[in-house]
A and B are shown apart, each in its own frame.
Chain A
Amino acid sequence: MAEETFLSDEFVRELGAVGEVDILVGIPTYNNRLTVERVVQAVQIGLVKYFPRERTVVINPDAGSRDGTPEIVKSASVQDFRSVLAANPLRTTHTLTTRVHPTRGEGGALRLILAAADLLRAKACTVISPESASITPEWIEAILRPIYRERYDFLAPVYQRHKFDALLVKNILSPLIHSTYGANLEEPAGTEFGFSGALACDLLAQDVWREDFMRYGWGVWMTTAALAGSYRSCQSFLGPKVHSGKQAEQNLAGAIQQVVGALFYSLEAHQNFWMSRTEPVALPLFGFKSELDLGPVRVNRKRLFEMFRTGVEELSTILSQILSAPVLQQIREVALGQENTCHFSDELWAKTIYEFAVSYHRAVMNRDHLLQALTPIYRGRVCSYLLENHGARVAELHKRLEVLHQQFERLKLDFIQNWSAKT
């Protein structure tokens, strides 16, 4: 009987024809015809401009696009580099497109990219989102130079965002990763990452590919795996992050289930690492970080608060299995207050997240249901956050987020004790 394989014969043949590479860029796609051409061209120009002598390949795993995305990728070549650069490429450029199973989501695409990196013995790799409307060729240099030239193994992006963008990252992922893994990452779930060939081989060998969170939570998994493996890690400033309309449509509950699920899974997998860690992890930042305020993000705070209140009420029984009585009581009090005075304190929030993590670890209920139950509470926290930071400038917000991180750090010992306690 044939062994299971996720690389098609044709793709393997194409990889064999490419041979060993120095740089690999992965662009996973699914119906991205509006943005992908520009992304591919920016990547090509970046490779020619910053890595003119290196052997490079672009790998495009496509999850069954029906809008012609793969064809656009194949044909999206810069016709005359001299119009944008001073030179033409020295080497043959390779762009390989292959199909991944749509049910595997982005995780399936990542697995294929990692396999290609392994087979082609790529030294430096990156994954670029096909939706990154703000990409420039300089992103290629910013992501790959630390990996290829400075020999880092993992690079997380730093974007210039609106102050109310990426609240899931700012309120859950970053503070929890900081307190447990010791790394103060701005974007642990970014859509662009850099990694070395060695890290790619290590990640590929891990047995996570059937986990549901790998469909869209792979960025968090990758980040925590790199930190727990003590790989040399860094961050790099890429510039503004402009959302395409597609990203804005993502379902919040689904997003929480994926990325927070990935983080809680990682906490279990890496508990030996973070429970014994005593020193923070230094993460150099490459690039010059600018702090301009970007255009506004529209949020309906009233609606958010309503959903928070309703959710806390309707999920009361479930929440009582997840949270301790005092924490649940405090949350109820917040939910019963007024929308325009909503205050979900940092301390309460940190306790909430830690208790959710412990309950996940103890599997007090179906884990998907547990994660879904976090959604309305998160809305309450967002409401409070928006209210309290309405007039704050970006720099002030950074300081307030530091305070949040400190709160997580302060409560960490209790968290570890609860995590370790037998039920």
Chain B
Amino acid sequence: MLEAAVGAQHAVSFKRTTMAQDTFLRGADPLWYKDAILYEVHVRTFKDSNADGIGDFRGLVEKLDYVADLGVNTLWLLPFYPSPLKDDGYDISDYTNVHPSYGTMDDFKLFLDESHRRGMRVLTELVLNHTSDQHPWFQEARKSPDNPWRDWYVWSDTPERYQEARIIFTDTEQSNWAWDPVSKSYYWHRFFSHQPDLNYDNPAVREEIWKVMKFWLDAGVDAFRLDAVPYLVEREGTNCENLPETHEVLRTLRRRLDESYPGRFFLAEANQWPSDVRAYFGQGDECHVAFHFPLMPRMFMAVRLEDRKPVIEILEKTPQIPENCQWATFLRNHDELTLEMVTDEERDYLYDEYARDKTMRLNVGIRRRLAPLMDDDRRRVELMNGLLLSLPGSPVLYYGDEIGMGDNVYLGDRKGVRTPMQWTGGWNAGFSNADPEMLCLPLISNPIYGFQAVNVESQKRSAHSLLSWMKQILRVRKSTRVFSRGTLEFLTPTNHRVLAYLRELGEERVLVVNNLSSSAQAVELDLSRFRGRIPIEMFGGNLFPRINDRLYLLTLGPYQFYWFKLRRF
């Protein structure tokens, strides 16, 4: 009966890959993730198709043309599995089903097929580290120390073990141990107390997680974001992060993935220093892609300081990664803008500059969207996107940032950056036909960022809107592989307010020059080794003066940037 209850999760299985995916994957480049441009979407708040105030898969399908037209090629979905939703879906109570609020398995399959038909791949969350305390596994495990599922989680009679492990959700948790009144013992949780950690020392856990993966891979999912991956294994006397045993778990999963599902990939969420994240690539035999967390706050810092130093320093400290691996870069996402991977001094600076109001701060981060962080300064928003899309890595765009959506820091936790997508200036911003009171989260409605002012429909009508500009920059980015696969070399002109670098791939050379300052700047670049080449500005296609032996003078307006192809004739 237990098996039936727990194993029922796998009752629905999928014929391995759909025809759409077969066609899609046939002949695909095995390193396609290097060219991925990801769009992070929350099903819950993207589009509601059945007027219940909650976004769903059918609504998401309705908007796939919009997403494809934007120019991205990979969709990243936040968790959509059955869950008590105490952590917005990251507390999973059933790994192989769809939350009924979002639709059915058939709806999910429709979404997958329609995404593939439009040339877009789909990346879903795999919350490896923990489940909801409502998950049947935990419900069984807590019943008694002798329960067969007991060892699926990490238990202790005292809260004294693993003392060196830090607390991640500092605003809400005082300990990584929680007392379970049912089993009269403590269980380990690195995140919220209602999210008990799975025990990866148990082979049954590892096998079950592989089965979960297989389930979604057979459905046609193209990739997994491995949530909270540094914390899989605990060992006494360590900080319980990035342990060798954790890497072994990942290597095994990768081996099995490569054997049975070539062409799919793992994206590691490891909020660590670059040298620690490096380990998650292994020798090219662990995760294919990993987020470059430390780069992100430094982009924000560089623009505020009007100084290129933070960006150059962190990238110069970033180790080489295997040829078949890639960084994932981002500006914002569904979480707070994490400030874990900066120094205390840097953190204080960023808080002072970007989150003076303490309501904006959460855990060790800032829970604001991109446009409000940039004070709704269109030029700064463009500059930040220009950096994101020209530095190495596969970029991730967060839904709504392409139109400059605002946030609501008063909604609690990170809900303020997960508000409904603003499609129109009309009823419920075009998100839902439900009564406004039914919406899963309130819309942003202030005069600056409110849906009447900031919405897709009005921006589609203007060739000069942020949305139109985002489409243009994505087109330019995709016009060459130099951005996704090329090398990076910083230039060091005397003007520290200008961040300039070269991207090279084969014979292609692209020069990127960014004015990080709020005032116009002049910069002289030593390009003498490209003597004779003609810089062609990539957005307008216009020729700039040919490079010679002298320092190359450029002038840039406030927050302006250039991308030049250096062509030889």
A9 proximal to B (CB < 8 A): yes
Partner of A119, one of B531, B533, B534, B548: B534
Partner of B542, one of A3, A4, A13, A20: A20
Contacts A3-B568, A5-B569, A115-B569; is A12 near B541 (CB within 8 Å)? no
B544 proximal to A (CB < 8 A): yes
Interface residues of A in 1-41 (CB under 8 A from B): 2-7, 9, 12-13, 15-16, 19-20
Interface residues of B in 504-545 (CB under 8 A from A): 531-534, 536, 540-545
**Chain B, Cβ-Cβ closest to A121:** B541
Contacts A5-B532, A12-B534; is A19 near B542 (CB within 8 Å)? yes
Contact with A along B541-569 (1 / 0, CB 8 A): 11111101000000000000000000111
Shortest CB-to-CB span from A418 to chain B, Å, is: 37
Asked if residues A12 and B542 are in contact (CB atoms below 8 Å), the reply is no
**How far is B569's CA from A383's CA once the two chains are assembled, in angstroms?**
46
**How far is B531's CA from A4's CA once the two chains are assembled, in angstroms?**
10
Shortest CB-to-CB span from A22 to chain B, Å, is: 13
A contact residues around B532 at 8 Å (CB): 2-5
**How far is B1's CA from A238's CA once the two chains are assembled, in angstroms?**
88
B contact residues around A115 at 8 Å (CB): 569
A contact residues around B533 at 8 Å (CB): 3
Partner of A2, one of B531, B534, B542, B545: B531
Shortest CB-to-CB span from B554 to chain A, Å, is: 14
Asked if residues B534 and A13 are in contact (CB atoms below 8 Å), the reply is no
**How far is B568's CA from A192's CA once the two chains are assembled, in angstroms?**
28
Asked if residues B531 and A12 are in contact (CB atoms below 8 Å), the reply is no
B contact residues around A2 at 8 Å (CB): 531-532
**How far is B472's CA from A404's CA once the two chains are assembled, in angstroms?**
54
A contact residues around B545 at 8 Å (CB): 12-13, 16
A contact residues around B531 at 8 Å (CB): 2-3
Most buried by B among A4, A12, A115: A12
**How far is B568's CA from A119's CA once the two chains are assembled, in angstroms?**
11
Shortest CB-to-CB span from B400 to chain A, Å, is: 34
B contact residues around A3 at 8 Å (CB): 531-533, 568
A contact residues around B543 at 8 Å (CB): 12, 15-16, 119
B contact residues around A121 at 8 Å (CB): 541
Contact with A along B301-327 (1 / 0, CB 8 A): 000000000000000000000000000
Looking at chain A's contact residues, the main secondary structure is loop
Asked if residues A16 and B569 are in contact (CB atoms below 8 Å), the reply is no
**Chain B, Cβ-Cβ closest to A116:** B569
Shortest CB-to-CB span from B180 to chain A, Å, is: 68
**How far is B534's CA from A4's CA once the two chains are assembled, in angstroms?**
13
Shortest CB-to-CB span from B2 to chain A, Å, is: 65
Most buried by A among B532, B543, B544, B545: B543
Shortest CB-to-CB span from B255 to chain A, Å, is: 42
Contact with A along B414-453 (1 / 0, CB 8 A): 0000000000000000000000000000000000000000
Asked if residues A119 and B536 are in contact (CB atoms below 8 Å), the reply is yes
**Chain B, Cβ-Cβ closest to A17:** B543
**How far is B534's CA from A13's CA once the two chains are assembled, in angstroms?**
10
**How far is B546's CA from A6's CA once the two chains are assembled, in angstroms?**
13
Most buried by A among B536, B540, B542, B568: B542
Shortest CB-to-CB span from A3 to chain B, Å, is: 5
Most buried by B among A6, A13, A16, A20: A16
**How far is B533's CA from A9's CA once the two chains are assembled, in angstroms?**
10
**How far is B541's CA from A5's CA once the two chains are assembled, in angstroms?**
20
B contact residues around A12 at 8 Å (CB): 534, 543, 545-546, 569
**How far is B542's CA from A16's CA once the two chains are assembled, in angstroms?**
7
B contact residues around A5 at 8 Å (CB): 532, 568-569
Asked if residues B548 and A6 are in contact (CB atoms below 8 Å), the reply is no
**Chain B, Cβ-Cβ closest to A115:** B569
Interface residues of A in 102-151 (CB under 8 A from B): 115, 119, 121
**How far is B569's CA from A3's CA once the two chains are assembled, in angstroms?**
9
Shortest CB-to-CB span from A40 to chain B, Å, is: 24
A contact residues around B546 at 8 Å (CB): 9, 12-13
**How far is B543's CA from A2's CA once the two chains are assembled, in angstroms?**
19
**How far is B540's CA from A4's CA once the two chains are assembled, in angstroms?**
26
**How far is B50's CA from A214's CA once the two chains are assembled, in angstroms?**
68
**How far is B546's CA from A322's CA once the two chains are assembled, in angstroms?**
50
**Chain A, Cβ-Cβ closest to B541:** A121
**Chain A, Cβ-Cβ closest to B531:** A2
**How far is B532's CA from A4's CA once the two chains are assembled, in angstroms?**
8
Contacts A2-B531, A3-B532, A5-B569; is A16 near B544 (CB within 8 Å)? yes
Shortest CB-to-CB span from A400 to chain B, Å, is: 47
Shortest CB-to-CB span from A15 to chain B, Å, is: 6
A contact residues around B567 at 8 Å (CB): 119
**How far is B532's CA from A7's CA once the two chains are assembled, in angstroms?**
9
**How far is B542's CA from A307's CA once the two chains are assembled, in angstroms?**
56
**How far is B542's CA from A19's CA once the two chains are assembled, in angstroms?**
6
Shortest CB-to-CB span from B546 to chain A, Å, is: 5
Shortest CB-to-CB span from A104 to chain B, Å, is: 14
Asked if residues B569 and A6 are in contact (CB atoms below 8 Å), the reply is yes
Shortest CB-to-CB span from A114 to chain B, Å, is: 10
Contact with B along A332-355 (1 / 0, CB 8 A): 000000000000000000000000
**How far is B550's CA from A9's CA once the two chains are assembled, in angstroms?**
14
Shortest CB-to-CB span from B539 to chain A, Å, is: 12
Shortest CB-to-CB span from B9 to chain A, Å, is: 54
Asked if residues B542 and A7 are in contact (CB atoms below 8 Å), the reply is no
Shortest CB-to-CB span from B532 to chain A, Å, is: 5
**Chain B, Cβ-Cβ closest to A16:** B543
**Chain B, Cβ-Cβ closest to A19:** B542
Shortest CB-to-CB span from A76 to chain B, Å, is: 26
A contact residues around B540 at 8 Å (CB): 20
**How far is B527's CA from A3's CA once the two chains are assembled, in angstroms?**
13
**How far is B548's CA from A15's CA once the two chains are assembled, in angstroms?**
17
Interface residues of A in 232-282 (CB under 8 A from B): none
Partner of A20, one of B534, B541, B548: B541
**How far is B531's CA from A2's CA once the two chains are assembled, in angstroms?**
6
**How far is B567's CA from A115's CA once the two chains are assembled, in angstroms?**
11
Shortest CB-to-CB span from B526 to chain A, Å, is: 15
Partner of B569, one of A7, A13, A19, A20: A7
**How far is B536's CA from A375's CA once the two chains are assembled, in angstroms?**
47
Task: Return 30 A-B CB contacts under 8 Å, by A number.
Answer: A2-B531, A2-B532, A3-B531, A3-B533, A3-B568, A4-B532, A5-B532, A5-B568, A5-B569, A6-B569, A7-B534, A7-B569, A9-B548, A12-B534, A12-B543, A12-B545, A12-B546, A13-B545, A13-B546, A15-B543, A16-B543, A16-B544, A19-B542, A20-B540, A20-B542, A115-B569, A119-B543, A119-B567, A119-B569, A121-B541
Report, nearest first, the 10 A-B pairs whose CB atoms are least far apart: A16-B543, A5-B532, A2-B532, A7-B569, A2-B531, A12-B546, A3-B532, A115-B569, A3-B568, A121-B541
Besides the known contacts A4-B532, A12-B546, 14 further A-B residue pairs in the complex with CB atoms under 8 A apart: A2-B531, A2-B532, A5-B532, A5-B568, A5-B569, A7-B534, A9-B546, A15-B543, A16-B545, A20-B540, A20-B541, A20-B542, A119-B543, A121-B541
On B, residues with C-beta under 8 Å from A are 531-534, 536, 540-546, 548, 567-569
